[in-house]
Amino acid sequence: MCCAAALVLDKAQAGALDHCLAGHVSAEPAHPRLLESLGKEPVVNLRMRLGEGTGAAIALGILRGAVAAHNGMATFAAAGVDARE
């Protein structure tokens, strides 16, 4: 249901969803088509049809982990890596 509303917004205001991510793709037949119309690739595809934001909750954990890994990564200089090697 959320993607159907998002598609209406996308058609009414181009670029309104540029900052948005698709958490997951449902096993329901219309959902992949909605995401395709929105131009969004889901973070996960676990073939769930539970609803209640379960895919988004899983995707959020993955995204938080990715951000933590990125922010905690040392630069080559800080790690003492010579870029010429």
Instruction: For residue range 69-80, list pLDDT tens digits in order.
Output: 999 998 888 888
DSSP 28-57: STHHHHHHHHHT--EEE-------TTHHHH
pLDDT value at 85 more than 80: no
Q: Is residue 84 part of a domain?
A: no
Residues with a catalytic annotation lie at 52
Cα dihedral sign, 24-28-31-32: positive
- pLDDT for the residue numbered 40: 95
| Beta-carbon count within 10 A of 59 CB | 19
Predicted TM-score of the model (pTM): 0.72
Joined tokens for residue 53: 């934001």
Euclidean distance between CA atoms 80 and 62, whole angstroms: 29
Q: Which range of residues forms the domain containing residue 23? A: 2-77
* 66: enclosing H helix or E strand: helix 54-72
On average, the pLDDT of the chain sits at 89
pLDDT value at 51 more than 90: no
Count of domains for the chain:
1
